[in-house]
Structure formats: structure tokens, C-alpha cells
Structure 1
Amino acid sequence: MNIVGIISEYNPFHNGHLHQITEIKKLFKNNIKVICLLSSDFVQRGEPALLDKYARAQMAISNGADMVLEYPTLFCCASAESYADNAVYILNNIGIIDYISYGFKSSDNDNVKKISSLLAYESNEYKEILKAELSKGLSFPKARQHALIKLLNKSDTDIYKLSETLKSSNDILAIEYEKALIRQKSDILTVPIERTGSDYNDPYMKENFSSATAIRKYLLSEKVINNKDLADNLPPSTLKILEDYSEVKHFGSMYLFENLIFYSVISKSNDELKKYPLVNEGIENLLKNNVFSCSSVNDFINTCVNKRYPATRIQRLLIHILLGMNKGITYKYKRPGYIRVLACRNKSLLSLISSKSSLPVITSLKKSYDDFDSDLKTLIEFENKACDIYNIVCLKDKSQYLNEFSVKPMFD
């Protein structure tokens, strides 16, 4: 039996995600178990998830996943490099993962492998080129893209294909997964599955294979679930979960958290803002100078964007400030300290993880919390606070809230 890990957000789970799981099962002739590592209530790019982690875990289990584990907010709301590195760390430490499967967009996955090998152990030549590109005032992702193209242009690499790989969000994450596996000297192999349909960030609905970006935009603007556009792009179980969820919670969005985000910035001094890891080069002044002149959080983000600070960095920084993800906690806790099960179809798989994992495996916080050391309690408490903030904003009836100590994994 092979065990495949998928690092995921499922924000929400759509036909493209189902395609990946289906293709993996075909490849291994159904002789596999699929374990998904799922981002918590705030996701990598720096925004609230459309649905909470439990609803998205249910979507995964309903569509072929055998187990869903939590990827804690402190580690998943991060740059692509850090996000991938800590995700691979978790899957490595489970002790039973044979493969990691990821989606890629480019027609040439060899470029993903080539770039990841180069970045895993950066040469002095690459570092010098990167430094020169950064000195031009470029953002790090753009400077890295330029440096890699200049370096690989000296080889027989197809520069057009290379450029396309470095522009694709899926391929950038794929590179980071491969790089993390190399750096961590992991024995886990990879199973790339070519992405079908729309690009990762395509904002427009298409037939059958729209991006999660387009589906979120549609749901947040139309607020209609039971229609053909969505039915064509989502598995039936996802539609049902969306319908049930919308009865009790608002869909998460930056707009919904707008007032809290503004308050979080306004209530802090410049010196307090400097305590956040993404705040440097005077970015605290940029935030303070613009916070009162913007009519919406999206306007605020766009006003703060410049050549050095892309929108994703500003957005992620705002979520860090909202959640209190300052240097005190992010610098102290470099690695996840536990494995938390959100949903499971197979209790024998749970028993296997519990016996093999080098990190403590949690199914019930209520039962386990008193046995944790102070560091593990700090990590758990931070995650609980992030979930509390998410739910107090998204719940339609606040009296219905169940805190993290009251929730148990879903066993199908």
C-alpha cells in the first residue's frame, strides 16, 4: 500500500482537485491512501479561507481523501518557500508518506526539477545575480525570476518555457516542494499531476474546470449556490456542503474582516508594527500613511503596493498583524510541533500514524492539552486564537460557536 500526501487549501474543493485525486488513484491502481495536509482558517496568500477548515476537510473526505490533517495558521500563512518547507516537514515527520503529489501548469515539469535543484543549494554566481536584481528595487519573487533566467540562459534551457514556469503559481509551489524535499534530505518521492483547465489565478468562471479564485469570486459576489455555473465546476458533495455551510456562516473574505484589519493597524504604533517579520524598509510608514485614506481593505492593499511590495506581501502582512503573528512567536517557533487530525475515513491509518509519527498526534485537544509542554501549548493556543477570530466574524449566530476544545475529528 502506497501513501500519498497532498498539500492543499481546497478553498473550495473543485473539479481540478478531484481530477488530481482521481489521477493519483489511477496511477497507483487504487492501491493507495491519500492524506491531505489542509491549511487552517487563514491561507497561504494571506486571507481568510472561504470556509472553515472542518468544512473543507469534509469536502476532501467526501471526494476520495482518506485523512485530512491541519496545517496550522502560524506556518501556512507564509511565503511560498516557508509554506512548502514546513508542509514537507510535517509530511516527513508523519513517518508513513511515500509520495507527495502536486499540481503543475507548465508543459515541461523538467524545469521544475531543474530550478529546484539549483535553488536547494544556491551557487555564489546565483547569489550575486540575485543581489544585483534586488538592488534595482525589485520584489524578491521578481528578482529571483530574473536571476534564474540569466543563470539558466547560459545552458540549453528553453528560456520561454522557463519563464512560463516561473510565472505560474502552481509551478512556483511545485519548485518549493521539490526544493524542500532536497534540503530536508527526504526519501519521499513526488507525483506531479498536470493541472487541467483554468490557470491558478484566473478570475473568470469557465466550463468544468474553473480556478478556486474564480469560484470564490463568484460565490462572494453572486451569493447564489444552487446554479449551473457552480454545478459544472464543483463535485455534488462540495455543493451540498456549501449550501449547508451558508446557512450558519458567512463565507470568509478580506471584506468581511475589513474593520478588524483596519483596527489592528490603527491601534498599533510604528514601533509596534516593526515587531512583525514582514515589516522592514519603512513599510510601517506606508501602512500608517494610507490607512485613513482608503475606503476598503482592497483599496488599502492596492494603495500600498509598489515595485518592492507586491499585493500578496501586503495582504499577508495585514493578516499577520490581525492575528498577532509577530517576531516574538514566528522567530521562536520555526517548525510545527504537532500533527492534528481533522477528518479520517480509516482508523487503521490513524493508528499507523500514531505509531510512526515523530510529532505528537492529536485527535482531541480536550483530552491531550494538559499533557503538552509549554511550547506545544503556546502553538495550540495561537491556533485556537486564530480560529476564534475567524469564527466570531463568520458565524451568523455567535451563540453556536464551538471552540477548538469542543471539536473532534470527523470519522466517516
Structure 2
Amino acid sequence: MKTVGLIVEYNPLHNGHVYHFEQSKTVTGADAAIAVMSGHWLQRGEPALVNKWARAEMALRMGVDVVLELPVAYSSQAAEWFAYGAVRTLDDCGAVDSLCFGSEGGDVDWLSSLAERLHEEQNSFQRLLAERLEQGLNYPSAYSAAIQAWLGKEAAGNLNAPNNTLGLHYLMALKRLNSSIVPATITRHNSGYHDQDATDERIASATAIRRLLDKNGQEAGLQQILRYVPSYTLDILSRELQAGRAPITWNHYLHPLLHQLVTKSADELHLIHEVTEGLEHRLKQSLPEWLRHQSDPLTQEDAFEALIRLVKTKRYTRTKLQRMLVRILLNHYKVQLSREALGAGPQYIRVLGFSSKGRLLLKRMKQNARCPILVKIPRECPSYLEMDIRATGAYSLGYSRPSSGEIFRDYYEPPLRMEPD
């Protein structure tokens, strides 16, 4: 059985994702698909709109055969480690023949050539990158500028495009792991990754869909997104809304975040992953003004936006700051997420759901995988799995009616078993 691997967030799953899924199987000739999906905290430093089990259900109903969880150690990282964690998971499971990702360029040869050069000449490139960072550029801009200085503007192409950047790092991870997985890419269709508004009749970005939900309220919002999502996505979102488990945004975590910022000293904040270059002091200095801002009759969303505005400089992207706040909220320390620790890989593969065809894939995985396949929480948890369990507990505090069952759901919830519609 030929199997394609997908790296996804499905926040939420929409028609563009369906197109990518169908095209991925077509261009790779795959009979089955395994998706590695971010859990509750996402690559741009945001909580997922709905929990990981709801999004895994969307994936299974679309036709994905096995859904694996990307640990939070990797899911809220910059491109290098997000890509490495996801590709490492697919490679370790021993059942994936190809990897298909979306890109703005749709040219896997160009990205593969660039990845090969970066892999072979990493030290030379790192020196150029360090020089650009010293000039005060934020990391994405410095990365793009370093590649242009190294290879020339034409050879570097459009690496500012987010899917091209992720695609490059997927390919670099494959080379780093000496993986036999064959890469392929599909041009992103109709709507850009960061597009804030829906402009096409059937395709809208996940960002635009979340904005429609937020702007129009629950019931009206569901009607607004009807044309952009499959019926099963709408059904699942409606169920989660009624249960008080959605829509989840940063505004649900202001109080626990404030608790962390107030009770930790600057020295303690400095130990947290992503708190770099004196950001602990900038956070502490911003707190009094942020709290004065919160005393105004503002929405919680306005308050979170105010914190970002106070801390942000040209040096730091919004995404970098949001990822930092995720790590502060979840108490993730630098020592836990060092390059050495991340480079060792997750050390387990967590199954969130599977179809009947997926059951056959799981048998293959159990024979060939390079680390344990988990369908339940073991008595002795790997350290990154413990972080996932705590991340679920923190995420569930954003529900309108959090319960013990939700906070400790990782212990009770078996993998979903489902046939596609």
C-alpha cells in the first residue's frame, strides 16, 4: 500500500485542504494517507480554534487514514524545528513513501536544490545569517536576506512566502534524516496562507475563516463559512460551539498568562524557551502599561493585542512573540527544548485516529517504526508526551465549562475509529 504523508494543522479543515489532500494522493499515486497534525498549540503561536480530537475527526471524515499528533515541543516552533519534528514523525513511523506539501511556487526541484546546498554548506550560510541578525533584522527577513546574499536573488526565489519556507525546511529535514521519503509539492490554490479575507467563491484561508467566525458570532459565523468548508467541518464546529469548546483564541488565556508574567521574575522568565535577547525585561516593563490598558472597557482581544503592540519591535515578528507567550503560559524551559533535545526527536508516535485502511497501516507501523506507537498513555511517559498532556490541560481551561474529563482527556480518550463519508 503506497502511502503519502501530510503535515497539517486543519484550523479548521476547509475546501483548500480537501483540494490539497486529493491532489496529494493523485500526484504521488498513493493509496492511503498519514497526516501528522499539530495538537492544541500551533506553529504561529496560537491556540487551535477547536481541540485536536475535533480536528482529527475532520481529517478522518475527509479520508485521511491515520492521524498522528505533532508534539507541542515541535508544533509551536519556528520553521526549522516544526518541520523537523513533523518529518521525523513521518519518517520514524516506517509506513510513509512520499511527502506532499503545498507551496506558492509548486516547484519541488528548486526547493530540493536549495535544501541540498543548505545541508552541505550549513556553516557558510550560518555565518551570513548571523551577520544579518546582527544588523537588526527579524529572523525570517534575515534568513531570506542571507540566502539571497549567498546564492543571488534569482536563485533564492520567493522564500518570503510562508509555504515555500516550510517546504524548504521539510526538504532539509528529509536530507538531515537521510530519509527515503520522496517529496512532492502542489501549488497553493486561490487563497494565500495569511489572507485575512475570503475573496474566492469556495476557497478561503483558515485565517479568513476564523475571522468570519469571530466577526459574525457563532450561528451567523457558521452560515458565513458554509461555502468554504465541507459539511462535516461545519457539523463538528457546530457541535464544539454548543459544547462550549470553541471558538478558542488567545483571549481565553489572558488571566493564566498574566499570572505567569506577574509571578515570575525577569530571571525566571529568561529560562523560558523563546525568551531571548532581553525580552524578559521588555515584558516586565510593559506590564504596568498593559494593565492600565486592561482597566479600560475593552474586549479581551483588544487587551491581548495591546500586549503584543507594547512588546513588539522591528526585531521580533508577531509570530515570534506569540510563540514566546505560548512557552511562558505552558512553562516550557530552554533546557527542555534545546537543539540537542529537539534533535533527538519525539521518541514516540501518538495516534489520534484511524480508518479501517488505517488499521492496516498501524500494523505495518508497529512492525517497522523506530519508536513506540502509542494508542494510550503509557505508565511511564516520555518527557515530551508529559508536555502534551499538560498542554491539553492548559488548553481546556479556555472552554466555557472546563471539567476534569476535559483537563485530563489525554488519559481517557482512545484513538478515533472512523470511515470517510
Question: Does the CA-based 8 Å contact 1:225-1:242 persist in structure 2?
Answer: no
**In the alignment, which residue of structure 1 is the partner of 2:120?**
121
1:352 matched to which residue of 2? 364
- The residue number in structure 1 matching 2:94 is 95
Find the residue that maps to 2:228 and give its secondary structure: coil
Unaligned runs of 5+ in 2: 294-302
Question: Is structure 2 residue 52 aligned with structure 1 residue 53?
Answer: yes
* Number of residue pairs aligned between Structure 1 and Structure 2: 398
Q: 1:315 aligns with which of 292, 299, 322?
A: 322
Contact 1:205–1:229 (8 Å) recurs in 2:
no
Over 3 Å counting, the alpha-carbon distance change for 1:25 and 1:308 in structure 2 is same
State the match for 2:175 in structure 1. 182
1:116-137: per-residue Cα shift (whole Å, max 9, x none)?
Answer: 2222233554344323222211
Q: 1:356-389 CA deviation, whole Å, 9 max, x = no partner?
A: 1111111122xxx22x3xxx44332221111011
- Which shows bigger deviation, 228-237 or 181-190? 228-237
Residue 194, structure 1, aligned to residue 193, structure 2: no
1:245 corresponds in structure 2 to 240
> 1:193 aligns to what SS in structure 2?
strand
Aligned to 1:105: 104
Residue matched to 2:353 = 343
Q: TM-score, normalised by structure 2?
A: 0.90
Give 1:84's aligned residue.
Answer: 83
Alignment of 1:167-316 (within 5 A): 167-206=160-199, 207-225=201-219, 228-248=223-243, 249-294=245-290, 295=293, 296-316=303-323
Quote the residue 2:27 is aligned against.
Answer: 27
Describe the SS at the equivalent of 1:187: coil
Give 1:389's match in structure 2, choosing from 388, 394, 417: 394
Deviations 1:211-234 (A, max 9, x none): 111111221222235655311110
1:143 Cα offset (Å): 1.1
What amino acid does structure 2 have at the position aligned with 1:355? Q
> 1:98-157 CA distances to partner (integer Å, 9 max, x unpaired)?
01110001254443223322222335543443232222111222111111112222xxx6
Query: What amino acid sits opposite 2:203 in the alignment?
Result: F
* Range 60-69 or range 377-386, more displaced: 377-386
Matches within 5 A, 1:359-374: 359-365=371-377, 369-370=378-379, 372=380
In structure 2, distance between residues paired with 1:209 and 1:117:
34
Question: Contact 1:198–1:210 (CA<8 Å) still a contact in 2?
Answer: yes
Contact kept? 2:2, 2:31, Cα under 8 Å: yes
Corresponding letter in the other structure for 2:212 = Y
Does residue 1:410 correspond to 2:421, yes or no? no
Q: Name the CA shift for 1:142/1:355 in 2 (closer, same or farther; >3 Å).
A: same
What is the SS of the residue equivalent to 1:20?
helix
* Amino acid corresponding to residue 229 of structure 1 in structure 2: Q
2:300 maps to none
C-alpha deviation, 1:59, in angstroms: 0.2
* Contact 1:250-1:396 at 8 Å conserved across structures: no
For 1:122 and 1:267, locate their aligned partners in 2 and report how far apart those are by CA, in whole Å: 44
Q: Secondary structure at the match of 1:221?
A: helix
Deviation readout 1:258-315 (Å, 9 max, x if unpaired): 2221221111101101111322221111111112312312211122111222111111
- Structure 1's 233 and 357: CA in aligned 2 closer, same or farther, altered over 3 A? same
Q: 1:397 to 1:141 in 2, by over 3 A?
A: closer
Question: What are the superposed Cα offsets for residues 170-190 of structure 1, whole Å, 9 maximum, x if unpaired?
Answer: 111001001111111111111
Distance 1:328 1:131 in 2: 22
The one-letter code of the counterpart of 1:311 is R
Residue pair 2:102, 2:167 contacting (<8 A) in 1 also? yes
Give the letter for the 1:130 counterpart: L
Aligned to 1:14: 14
Label 1:384 to 1:4 Cα distance change in 2 as closer, same or farther (>3 A).
same
The alignment partner of 1:396 has SS state of coil
Indicate how the Cα distance of structure 1 residues 342 and 300 shifts in structure 2: closer, same or farther if over 3 A, else same.
same
Instruction: Give the superposition deviation at 1:342.
Output: 0.5
Deviation at 1:328, TM superposition (A): 3.4
> Is there any run of 5+ residues in structure 1 with no aligned partner, and where?
none
Instruction: Report the alpha carbon displacement of residue 95 of structure 1 after superposing the two structures with TM.
Output: 0.9
Q: In structure 2, what residue type is equivalent to 1:190?
A: P
Give the corresponding residue for 1:148. Answer: 147
Segment of structure 1 superposing worse, 114-123 or 254-263: 114-123
The SS at the match of 2:225 is helix
